[in-house]
Amino acid sequence: MNQEWTIPLQIGVSIGNPMLEAASARPRSDRFIAQTAARPATANRIAVEAADALIERFSVASLKKMSFDWGTALSLSLASRLAYGDTAQVTATARNVWSLGTSEFIEADETQCFVATSPDAVLLSFRGTEALGDWLANLNILSTSRPYGKVHRGFLGAFQVVEQQLTSILDRFSGRRVLLTGHSLGGALALVVAAEWRGKFDISWVHTFGQPAVGKKDFQGFMEVNYGDTYYRFVNDDDIVPMVPPSFRHAGRLIHFTEDGDIERVLGSGELEALEIDLGPVPVETPMLTQEQFDLMRAQLLQERAMKGGAPLTEESVERAAEEVTAQAGLEGLFPSVADHSMDLYVAKVARKAGF
């Protein structure tokens, strides 16, 4: 029997008169599911399994793996999920449940993360955005130049406000391997850290979940050269966040899950081929939103927020918008993919591959 599942995200739009061309950036429109429709029982079961019951599947030993391992991926996905907790939750879980030696929660401006250590490794996990609608409404496409290439100015700035604190902590554990992770905006920050700390600390793995694009072509090249076999980017089904911002590019090894948790696409991963995963033909990268689509999305979100007098964008707004959006052929499936951004779904699908 199907169950109804509500994703606790806050995002909303109102559809005006603008119409887009048929969305070349979304070639799989026949697979999109309206946010207002009941999702299949399989998806509901995955969401349930992604809850707190999986938290004890974190493995300290997995932080020492030298090649891609689903156990490591699960541990890092759980760390990305834990980053949404408060200081007490993070500390209690990292120290008492995961048996990590130290745990420190860092918060400055709107950037939050935690650093935890084992005898061999340092784990740094960044929190993503909890107000997804407001984040998308405020997201811009401004970039800035760094020695490793052009990156999103906002993502870089969000790291810089905690840079000194993080560097001080990492200096105390010099020589240990560093693992970086994060969901959504947190994944973007993990990627910026990987670039900023290249050659400064021993970064062994970067795993991100539902991460937006971070840099331009030169940054993409830097990441491929320096983290080609150690940066894995997980995307769940039709998650919209990895499709923004326009004009930016992704790097790393893509692991793309289907709605049912199978691996739909993997790019450039000899590591996974060695695990005898049937990859099928190497696909084209998931397209980014066009500038027109992105601008329309932001305009709709800003209009909705203005109509509400600046109040948070609600789930009811998402449901109303989804009905209108899916009625327009050029935009079908754009906002229904918000549900696929859930960190619980990412945890569940990685856990399935890890054997849980």
Say if residue 295 is exposed, middle or buried (CB neighbours under 10 Å; 0-12, 13-18, 19+).
middle
CA atoms of 346 and 81, how far apart (whole Å): 9
Position 7 scores a pLDDT of 36
Pair 231, 206: CB distance under 8 Å:
yes
Position 305 scores a pLDDT of 84
CA atoms of 211 and 234, how far apart (whole Å): 8
- Give the pLDDT of the chain (356 residues) as one tens digit per residue: 444 433 333 333 332 322 222 223 333 333 222 222 333 444 445 564 555 789 999 999 999 999 999 999 999 999 999 999 999 999 999 999 999 999 999 999 999 999 999 999 999 999 998 888 788 888 999 999 999 999 999 999 999 999 999 999 999 999 999 999 999 999 999 999 999 999 999 999 999 999 999 999 999 999 999 999 999 999 998 888 898 999 999 999 999 998 888 887 555 544 455 554 444 444 446 678 888 778 877 777 787 888 888 887 755 554 454 455 445 535 554 554 678 888 999 999 999 999 98
pTM: 0.82
Pair 131, 10: CB distance under 8 Å:
yes
Tokens of 150: 């052009």
Partners of 103 in the β-ladder: 116
Position 32 scores a pLDDT of 27
Close Cβ partners of 232 (under 8 Å, ≥ 6 residues apart): 68, 73, 205, 206, 207, 208, 252, 253, 255, 269
Taken in order of first residue, the domains within the chain and their CATH numbers are 37-54+65-288+337-353 (3.40.50.1820)
